[in-house]
């Protein structure tokens, strides 16, 4: 992992002996970028939860080096199916934000509240969530079907299209 320049920068800039800061920052990168991250359930609140729990700093703000590492991590693991899954997750997050903005209360102007928009959003979210679940199963299933000689698992840095020693198990 430290052979990748974006990750190496994080490691090298921590001059402490135990590299605690670099370790936390690399964990932050993992939890933000990995498609199987336990923090994905938090959706739009994911980064703030990671800041509180991993970085132990609710006010933690990333810098350019951390953002570069996050982008690189995403790029290294991303297939077209994963890109589509990320797109669906982003859509769900957008609908959540939209619905939160539509919440009607006594402070709202009744003329600006449109119940038809809220109803349409609720109908759309059902099919989008179904699509999200379908794609998650598909992606996790693709991963389970990949194997290499000797029964090992395919790593995120292995290109399955160019590596002739990798095969897809036939079910």
Under DSSP, is residue 36 helix (H, G, I), strand (E, B) or coil? coil
Do residues 120 and 98 lie in contact, with contact meaning Cβ atoms separated by under 8 Å? Answer: no
The band of 104, judged by pLDDT with boundaries at 50, 70 and 90, is low
Rounded-to-integer distance, Cα 163 and Cα 68, Å: 27
User: Residue 68: pLDDT above 80?
Assistant: yes
Report if pTM > 0.85: no
141 belongs to a structural domain: yes
pLDDT of residue 6: 96
Q: Are residues 64 and 89 in the same domain?
A: no
Tally of structural domains, the chain: 2
83 belongs to a structural domain: yes
Q: Are residues 52 and 106 in the same domain?
A: no
* Lookup: tokens for 46: 């994911």
161 belongs to a structural domain: no
Exposure b/e, 139-171, CB count within 10 A at least 16 = b: beeeeeeeeeeeeeebeeeeeeeeeeebeeeee
Do residues 37 and 86 lie in contact, with contact meaning Cβ atoms separated by under 8 Å? Answer: no
* Residue of 157 and 94 predicted with greater confidence: 94
Chain-centre distance of CA 118, in angstroms?
27
Beta-carbon contacts of 125 under 8 Å, excluding residues fewer than 6 positions away, are: 92, 95, 99
Q: Are residues 27 and 62 in the same domain?
A: yes
pLDDT of residue 72: 95
pLDDT of residue 93: 81
pLDDT averaged over every residue in the chain: 79
Report angle CA 77, 170, 140 to the nearest 5 degrees.
30
Rounded-to-integer distance, Cα 158 and Cα 168, Å: 14
Torsion of CA 24, 30, 32, 34, to 10 degrees: -170
Q: Are residues 56 and 123 in the same domain?
A: no
């Amino acid at each position: 992992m430290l052979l990748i320049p974006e990750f190496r920068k994080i490691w090298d800039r921590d001059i402490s002996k135990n590299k605690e800061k670099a370790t936390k920052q690399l964990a932050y990168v993992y939890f933000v970028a990995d498609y199987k991250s336990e923090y994905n359930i938090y959706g739009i609140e994911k980064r703030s939860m990671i800041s509180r729990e991993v970085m132990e700093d609710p006010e933690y703000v990333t810098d350019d080096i951390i953002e570069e590492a996050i982008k690189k991590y995403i790029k290294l693991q991303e297939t077209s199916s994963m890109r589509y899954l990320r797109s669906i997750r982003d859509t769900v997050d957008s609908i959540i934000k939209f619905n939160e903005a539509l919440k009607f209360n006594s402070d709202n102007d009744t003329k600006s509240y449109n119940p038809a928009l809220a109803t349409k959003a609720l109908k759309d979210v059902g099919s989008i969530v179904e699509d999200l679940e379908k794609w998650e199963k598909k992606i996790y299933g693709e991963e389970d079907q990949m194997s290499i000689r000797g029964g090992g698992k395919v790593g995120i840095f292995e290109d399955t299209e160019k590596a002739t020693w990798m095969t897809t198990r036939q079910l």
